[in-house]
Structure 1
Amino acid sequence: MNTNSPLTEYIYTFAYNGDESSLCHLEMRSFFGVDTTTNILKSSIEVLPSRSPFIKERIEVMYEGNYLSQILEQVEAIQLNGATFKVIFNKINDLNPSDKIEYDDRRSIERDLGLHIDGEADVNHPDLTFGIIPLGGRWYFGKYLKNEAIWLHHMKKPRNYSIALGTRLARAAVNIAIPKPEGISAIDPCCGIGTVVIEALSMDINMVGRDINPHIIQGARANTAHFGYDTELVLGDIGDVHATYDVAIIDMPYNLFSSTTPEEQLSLLQHTRRFAKRVVIITIETIDDMIVEAGFIIKDRGVAKKRAFSRQIIVCE
């Protein structure tokens, strides 16, 4: 991800259910510095949609205008050099219900734009896809990119663990912890079967893992190898971490499934404070006092719910 010239703007649409709202907005704030009450955000910050479990699509703005007729005039300047194309009207937009553009009218707008572009349309396998979207009373047109939902493939691990994080939560946690991956070193010091590590590696983030359980770390190695990823996955106690990292992600052991005492939980946090500048903590309990005692400052937070079960995601530095 990088910050682009103000001349380059991107429009993102988001899809999430009610239980995911807090987590999605925490990820938004991490990526963009702001969030939105709508499902649309315009920003000069570039993020690949497939990084996020919540970004549905992105338009890289080429043209904008107060009226659709102005867009129709501008697209005539597009040079395709023999490439085929298609146009998509973004279904997610900020139009009032009374101004909603129905399916047939959206298809008509797509066809009209296609007729103004000098090139060969191909609705099935285009070389280029463009998007058109109304936002804030204006029209925007540009290169369209859809989320590939890479994390869905990671659900089919050869080794599984009943209380492991889901891939959507794991991927969001990585993005919240590491919105800008360039030059960042990261660790999951209690990595379990490697769910967080796999999501990080799939986004070319430099992350290593560690776990104290020999059976579990073998599962993490099998899972990362299954998806073709390679990183350091060490059997060992968190107290034996001697390198320093820019970021750590730690999923705290649950009292329901773990014999870990409060003193041991505090020790986990204190060790993490020793070797990481920034940490995202995932916990089912409220441990704010423990986090502060370990020497962290809480910067942001959200909640990931799944029916009656919820986890807190806490960003600390």
Structure 2
Amino acid sequence: MLHIYNYAYREGEDALCALEMRSLFGKDSQSSTLESNLKVDPSRSPFIRERIDVIYEGYHLQDIIKQVQDLPIIEATFKVIFIQNGDLAESEKVDFEQRRTIEREIGLHIPGEPDLLNPELLFGIMKINGRWVFGHYHKNKAAWLHHQKKPHSYSTSLSTRVARAVANIAVPDPTGIKAIDPCCGIGTVLVEALSMGINIVGSDINPLVLPGARENIAHFGLVGEVIRKDIRSISSSYDVAIIDMPYNLFSVITPEEQLEMLESAWGFTDKLVIVTLELIDSIIIKAGFEIVDRCVVKKGTFTRQIIVCEKSSGKI
């Protein structure tokens, strides 16, 4: 089945959005929409606004109106939603009144009972790439916004949006994947990953941050392991690790210490997603990883690197 994804991102997050797209779908898009046969819950991403599971498509709106009459009788109440496509040329855009008219026209031809206030089922209609598409509609529930209100946070922590995207980049498909955040801090990435069903554990060398991480996780009704452990002492194996490199005033580390951290990661994971303020490409390569993808996230004058690495065959 074809799925249509509608995207939106904030200023400075375009590259992060594209990297998450490539991780989830194996490709990105130069527009605000993406078509894929892969089915991803839109609520996983801070950038996917909604998804249409395409049932019918046609070059003219009348093609859709004719096709929806062939739907089996809808047992649940329903509503039709017109999805705006920001990529359309000005001449192709549909104004508010036209959108409502299209919704009503399609709804009248669907065999079932419409309910505009509390529908049990949602359908979407959208114009994309020169054709109309119609199908089941799914809206992003924006869980990360709720996660902003956690008991403990630091000014230098990742935003919940960035943390959620990083978790998706590290683990695009959670099935059978075992992940670790070995420098978890107060657990911003852990909360996002656990809320998406990712099997992830957290650890940190700093005993002062661990109670806050545990409380943040429990605050949202999530369950996850958070222990005190030096990254150099990790002996279990993981499919992927997420490392937000220490950088604040209380945890300044030297290039030699950065290398030691990444060399330790080489021993327990084949895939590594690094968040860093500094350019550490040479350190990454020296530690035995190769860089396979990356992006820059900007917020004002603050810039972060998100670097996706895989274990290379040997170290330099």
- What range describes the TM-score normalised by the shorter chain of this pair? over 0.9
Deviation, structure 1 residue 105: 0.6
1:176 matched to 2:172? no
Match of 1:52 in 2: 45
Counterpart-to-counterpart distance in 2, 1:120 and 1:306: 47
Counterpart-to-counterpart distance in 2, 1:104 and 1:281: 48
> SS at the partner of 1:151?
helix
Could you tell me the TM-score, scaled by structure 1's length? 0.96
Instruction: From 247, 258, 264, give the equivalent of 2:251.
Output: 258
Instruction: From 196, 204, 220, give the equivalent of 1:203.
Output: 196
Deviation per CA, 1:150-178, whole angstroms, max 9, x where unpaired? 01111111112221111000000000111
Which shows bigger deviation, 42-51 or 228-237? 228-237
Deviation, structure 1 residue 86: 0.5
Q: Evaluate the alpha carbon distance shift between residue 309 and residue 256 of structure 1 in structure 2; reply closer, same or farther with a 3 A threshold.
A: farther
Match of 2:111 in 1: 118
Match of 1:29 in 2: 22
Seq. identity, % = 57
Match of 2:217 in 1: 224
User: Is the 8 Å Cα contact of residues 12 and 299 (structure 2) preserved in structure 1?
Assistant: yes
Unaligned ranges ≥5, structure 1 = 1-7
Counterpart-to-counterpart distance in 2, 1:171 and 1:257: 25
User: Is the 8 Å Cα contact of residues 94 and 136 (structure 1) preserved in structure 2?
Assistant: no
Match of 2:313 in 1: none
Match of 1:152 in 2: 145
Q: How many residues end up aligned between the 2 structures?
A: 310
Which shows bigger deviation, 263-272 or 45-54? 263-272
Deviation, structure 1 residue 81: 4.1
Counterpart-to-counterpart distance in 2, 1:125 and 1:80: 19
Deviation per CA, 1:121-174, whole angstroms, max 9, x where unpaired? 111210100001111111100000000000111111111222111100000000
Counterpart-to-counterpart distance in 2, 1:244 and 1:91: 45
> SS at the partner of 1:41?
strand
Counterpart-to-counterpart distance in 2, 1:312 and 1:256: 19
Match of 2:279 in 1: 286
Spell out the pairing of 1:270-309 with structure 2 (5 A cutoff).
Answer: 270-309=263-302
User: Is the 8 Å Cα contact of residues 73 and 111 (structure 2) preserved in structure 1?
Assistant: yes
Deviation, structure 1 residue 255: 6.0
Counterpart-to-counterpart distance in 1, 2:102 and 2:190: 43
Deviation, structure 1 residue 256: 5.2
Spell out the pairing of 1:178-197 with structure 2 (5 A cutoff).
Answer: 178-197=171-190
Counterpart-to-counterpart distance in 2, 1:31 and 1:18: 21
Match of 1:3 in 2: none
The AA in structure 2 aligned to 1:254 is Y
Spell out the pairing of 1:237-248 with structure 2 (5 A cutoff).
Answer: 237-248=230-241
Deviation, structure 1 residue 79: 2.6
Deviation, structure 1 residue 98: 1.7
Match of 1:129 in 2: 122
Deviation, structure 1 residue 93: 4.7
Match of 1:72 in 2: 65
Could you tell me the TM-score, scaled by structure 2's length? 0.96
Deviation, structure 1 residue 258: 2.7
Unaligned ranges ≥5, structure 2 = 311-316
Q: Evaluate the alpha carbon distance shift between residue 306 and residue 257 of structure 1 in structure 2; reply closer, same or farther with a 3 A threshold.
A: farther
Q: Evaluate the alpha carbon distance shift between residue 119 and residue 273 of structure 1 in structure 2; reply closer, same or farther with a 3 A threshold.
A: same
Deviation per CA, 1:40-83, whole angstroms, max 9, x where unpaired? 01100110000000000000000011111110011012234431
Match of 2:314 in 1: none
Counterpart-to-counterpart distance in 1, 2:146 and 2:44: 14
Deviation, structure 1 residue 266: 0.9
Counterpart-to-counterpart distance in 2, 1:243 and 1:140: 48
Deviation, structure 1 residue 95: 2.0
Counterpart-to-counterpart distance in 1, 2:10 and 2:110: 37
Instruction: From 131, 144, 153, give the equivalent of 1:138.
Output: 131
Counterpart-to-counterpart distance in 2, 1:19 and 1:93: 19
Counterpart-to-counterpart distance in 1, 2:211 and 2:255: 27
